[in-house]
Amino acid sequence: MDYDKYVKIPMFIILDRNICNNNKILYGIIMLLSHKEGYCYADNKYLGNWLGVCPRRISSLLRELSDNNYITMEYRHRFQRKIYINKEKFTSDLLENFF
């Protein structure tokens, strides 16, 4: 399967009214980019290019996802981070079948 040709967004994200629509798409992009390594290391400019928004807007979108416990971010240096999908939101079999 070619994972880089489409983005899958789980229904629990689609149905969550606490996050905006751009964040729902961003979550799907993060899932896509974290498939191989288990985390996403894309910077805000790269993610912003995918969504058509500025890097500053990506910062606020990531903060919203983090505040709602959908992702966790680990910073190694000031400009180097890893974004992890919070797997507690998935049931164990749902996550395996999602990919």
- Could you tell me if residue 1 is inside a domain? no
Q: Which two tokens stand for residue 57?
A: 């807007």
Contacts 24+ apart (CB under 8 A), 57-60: 57/22, 58/26
- Could you tell me if residue 69 is inside a domain? yes
- Could you tell me if residue 38 is inside a domain? yes
Answer yes or no: is pLDDT of 78 > 80. Answer: no
Are 27 and 65 contacting, i.e. CB atoms less than 8 angstroms apart?
yes
pLDDT digits (tens, 9 = 90+) for 6-15: 888 999 899 9
Read off the CATH number of the domain in which 42 is found: 1.10.10.10
Based on the structure, what is the number of domains in the chain?
A: 1
Q: Which helix (H) or strand (E) holds 28?
A: helix 21-33
- Could you tell me if residue 2 is inside a domain? no
Q: Which domain holds residue 90?
A: 7-98
Answer yes or no: is pLDDT of 74 > 90. Answer: yes
